[in-house]
Chain A
């Protein structure tokens, strides 16, 4: 009986629209964002032991900590300002708005590839907006949760992701790049052989992207198994998504 009731609950969850159930998942990330980010930081931090000599007193430590935090905040704001200044003053981004967002732990190695981002400004964010990380396209917005200032980014390597691209050296030809889930994506049925290391660019998409932007690099080029005259490319992201701390969402034609 117990088993039947639980199974029924599971089936209800399974067939409830994902827009509703994903709120549970995001609420969990929102509630436990602090331990989650601590865990992520611990994974990234090298374990080094430091010895403290001439340790200062308690009040002095408080001031030193306060100053250190303030300096770090100032530095972070400077970096954000510099990043935004650079983006706003690039010719192709004229009239474009950007929403800077912090990254909550990324899941990039498993079967699905996604990021959850924490964004103060969720006004104007909609599904399919392109997301920039380290000056390259890393994915598109898949869900926006304005109530808790969060959004989800489907990375270009996610199996659900499909982006129109062109490959450097193959002028005029356009292809579809599909995510393959293992921190890589595939471009299939390419007419010419492509050198490893060639850049792959996301194509213009009216209303979302006004100029081609680098999205990845070719890491492998091998013959298509069905049609040996054609080539299949494996593409890896142009930046290390796992190391990203913040990203910028491109908002074309922002509402003033």
Chain B
């Protein structure tokens, strides 16, 4: 794993998510896409580190939500996905899209549940926001895997285990 490239990528994507995409009401969650990418294409310990780091980045731009919920939920589901990938290789685009959708839904709900525990209100439109974001992410995500793999110098083989 090239950690410097990883840091630059996370920083750029975080700024993009908070800046360019912030004004759009319906948008893909680029950090979830990165989470699934690193869980699929890295070894387990790298996946754990990258999941929690991406979660921390999501928390940094997750204001007004408190810090912590996204770090925990991203870390938890990123780690689970990494272990799952050791049993069922998620290499083909439809499976990757499905993995992004499921991970996005689960992290979305766990994040808001954890925020609720700390006293944050749960918005009434939470189901729609989480589902729409998950759908957008799962559509866009698999197409972003190739440029991310190129930047991270990771070899991607979509059709072989």
Residues of chain A at the chain B interface (Cβ within 8 Å) = 2-3, 6-7, 9-16, 18, 21-22, 24-26, 28-29, 32, 35-40, 42-44, 105-112, 114, 116, 142, 152, 154, 158-160, 180-183, 186, 242
Given A35-B15, A112-B123: A7 touches B63 (CB 8 Å cut-off): no
Give the distance in Å from the alpha carbon of A7 to the alpha carbon of B16 in the complex: 26
Query: Are A43 and B124 touching (Cβ within 8 A)?
Result: no
Q: State the Cβ distance, A141 to closest chain B Cβ, in Å.
A: 12
Could you say which residues of chain B place their CB within 8 Å of the CB of A22? 63-64, 66-67
Residue of A nearest to B62 (CB): A25
Given A43-B23, A105-B22: A114 touches B67 (CB 8 Å cut-off): no
Give the distance in Å from the alpha carbon of A14 to the alpha carbon of B128 in the complex: 25
Interface residues of B in 6-36 (CB under 8 A from A): 15-16, 18-26
Q: State the Cβ distance, B101 to closest chain A Cβ, in Å.
A: 18
B25, B48, B60, B79: the one contacting A183 at CB < 8 Å is B25
Interface residues of B in 71-107 (CB under 8 A from A): 71-72, 75-76, 79
User: Can you identify 19 A-B contacts, CB atoms within 8 angstroms?
Assistant: A2-B48, A7-B72, A7-B75, A11-B72, A12-B68, A13-B71, A14-B69, A22-B64, A22-B66, A25-B61, A36-B15, A39-B22, A40-B20, A109-B26, A110-B129, A116-B63, A152-B64, A159-B122, A242-B23
Contact residues of A: prevailing secondary structure: helix
B62, B66, B123: the one contacting A14 at CB < 8 Å is B66
Could you say which residues of chain B place their CB within 8 Å of the CB of A9? 52, 71
Given A3-B48, A6-B75: A182 touches B63 (CB 8 Å cut-off): no
Q: State the Cβ distance, B45 to closest chain A Cβ, in Å.
A: 6
Query: Are A42 and B20 touching (Cβ within 8 A)?
Result: yes
Give the distance in Å from the alpha carbon of A6 to the alpha carbon of B47 in the complex: 12
Query: Are B23 and A25 touching (Cβ within 8 A)?
Result: no
B interface residues, tally (CB under 8 Å) = 45
Query: Are B125 and A10 touching (Cβ within 8 A)?
Result: no
Could you say which residues of chain A place their CB within 8 Å of the CB of B118? 14-15, 18
Q: State the Cβ distance, B125 to closest chain A Cβ, in Å.
A: 4
Query: Are B61 and A28 touching (Cβ within 8 A)?
Result: yes
Could you say which residues of chain A place their CB within 8 Å of the CB of B125? 111, 180-182
Give the distance in Å from the alpha carbon of A116 to the alpha carbon of B112 in the complex: 21
Residue of A nearest to B120 (CB): A160
Residue of A nearest to B75 (CB): A6
Query: Are A108 and B25 touching (Cβ within 8 A)?
Result: yes
Query: Are A39 and B68 touching (Cβ within 8 A)?
Result: no
Q: State the Cβ distance, A55 to closest chain B Cβ, in Å.
A: 30
Q: State the Cβ distance, B108 to closest chain A Cβ, in Å.
A: 9
